[in-house]
């Protein structure tokens, strides 16, 4: 990373603690409910502090999970970007949820690492643009560890390969929700993901661009646990934080 980028990503408070959990393979509703619970508890503490002029600590969280096959549509998404009806999706063994994150439509499934940071940004920095760029950098740096060159695409949140060419393809989607500077939802990195279900959607509502995975780029299956370890390393580094287990 260049010195300029390092300065941009550097924060003033070191070693913030974040509760970390690897939730394995789980259905979407269970984890969505968990996110909401952690998200609301953090907001409730902040509201209490403001009303009572107290300074009770908030707790930030970082969840990693793989989901059973599911398609989610963000609050700004368009239903016509879903190319199969719900009944046909059920036949394919794919669930569907309209949810409260930003962004359009995406697919989650086994072999894909989904990260849900539930952070109190008042303890980090109050800048959503910077937050998204940091999340992207976590993935860019992780992919670099596996000799995959990826970058950002202007105006298209997420992480891409071969940006600016006819072969541009997304390897990691992102969509978040934030309220009172508390975040939820996050990113989904295609590692060994079956990419066929992406044919049932217009991924992220972006026409004419494909999706890819680490396995596809490297022409071999990737050790997903090793990828998780690299994500954890870069997240702690870039967010100047320390995971607590």
Sorted by where each begins, the domain ranges of the chain are 15-238
- 3 state DSSP class of 26: strand
The domain defined by 15-238 folds into BirA Bifunctional Protein; domain 2 (3.30.930)
Q: Is the pLDDT of residue 104 over 90?
A: no
Percent of the chain surpassing pLDDT 70:
91
Q: Which DSSP string do the residues of 55-75 spell out, in sequence order? A: -PPP-EEEEEEEESSEEEE-T
Confidence of residue 203 (pLDDT cuts 50, 70, 90): low
Confidence of residue 83 (pLDDT cuts 50, 70, 90): confident
- 172 catalytic? Reply is no
**pLDDT confidence band for 206 (50 / 70 / 90):** low
- The catalytically annotated residue of 63, 140, 184, 204 is 204
Q: 178 pLDDT exceeds 90?
A: yes
């Amino acid at each position: 990373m260049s010195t300029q980028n390092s300065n941009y990503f550097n924060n003033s408070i070191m070693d913030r603690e974040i509760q970390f959990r690897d939730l394995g393979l789980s259905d979407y509703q269970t984890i969505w409910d968990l996110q909401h619970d952690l998200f609301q508890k953090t907001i409730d503490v902040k509201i209490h502090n403001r009303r009572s002029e107290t300074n009770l600590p908030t707790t930030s969280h970082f969840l990693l999970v793989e989901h059973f096959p599911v398609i989610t549509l963000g609050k700004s998404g368009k239903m016509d970007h879903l190319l199969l009806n719900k009944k046909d999706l059920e036949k394919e063994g794919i669930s569907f949820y309209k949810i409260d994150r930003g962004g359009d439509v995406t697919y989650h499934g086994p072999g894909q690492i989904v990260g849900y940071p539930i952070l109190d940004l008042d303890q980090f920095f109050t800048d959503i643009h910077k937050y998204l760029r940091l999340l992207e950098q976590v993935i860019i740096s992780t992919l670099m560890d596996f000799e995959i060159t990826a970058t950002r695409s202007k105006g298209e949140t997420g992480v891409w390969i071969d940006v600016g060419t006819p072969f541009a393809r997304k390897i990691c989607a992102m969509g978040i929700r934030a309220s009172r500077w508390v975040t939820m939802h996050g990113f989904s990195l295609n590692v060994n993901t079956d990419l066929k279900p992406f044919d049932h959607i217009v991924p992220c509502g972006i026409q004419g661009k494909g999706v890819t995975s680490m396995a596809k780029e490297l022409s071999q299956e990737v050790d997903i646990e090793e990828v998780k370890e690299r994500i954890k390393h870069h997240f702690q580094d870039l967010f100047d934080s320390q995971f607590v287990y």
